[in-house]
Amino acid sequence: MEIIIITAAASNGAIGKAGIQPWYCKEELIHFNKRTIGYPMIMGSATMIEIAKPLKGRENLVLTSKSYDEDTTGFLYFNSLENAISYCNDKDYKKLFIIGGESVYKQAMEIADRILISVMDFSFDGDRFFPRIEEDKWELEKEDRRKNFVIYDYKRKV
């Protein structure tokens, strides 16, 4: 199973402030939806709170130490990244997307096969940042310029 980190970040690497992503870019959301539809997504509890309801057409897996009633929320809950990945392996998914936030990205950087990062054409004063992409571990495969952002597609070096 291919593990893919997908995110949008400001040009300074900021991905959020006070628990939200403080911009709206329709074209980037369309890109996100096209890539993730039909595949499971792993997120932290703050990301779950930000999106408010499960995204349709995908299994929405949440890493948390809290307990929630899965029957009423539409989310699946796991106490570790390893357990969530194991669940996806058992279901024979071909791809798995990691959608944030900061601490989940940090954990996933060690095991991901690919990073899809949309870098916006602006910076902002955030309090959550995407981890640095280390050039000795990642190779830029594609660069796709859009109106207000660039999508960088990195593959893990072997």
Position 139 scores a pLDDT of 98
Position 137 scores a pLDDT of 97
Q: What is the pLDDT of residues 79-135, one digit of tens each?
A: 999 999 999 999 999 999 999 999 999 999 999 999 999 999 999 999 999 999 999
The Cα-based distances of 71 to 33, 37, 68, 76, 77 in angstroms read 24, 22, 9, 9, 11
Q: Where are the beta strands (DSSP E) in 32-124?
A: 41-44, 60-63, 76-78, 95-100, 114-120
Burial letters for 103-119: b for 16+ Cβ neighbours within 10 Å, e otherwise?
Answer: ebbebbbeebebbbbbb
Position 70 scores a pLDDT of 60
At the top level of CATH, which class does the domain 2-156 belong to? alpha beta
State the average pLDDT for the chain: 95
pTM over 0.85: yes
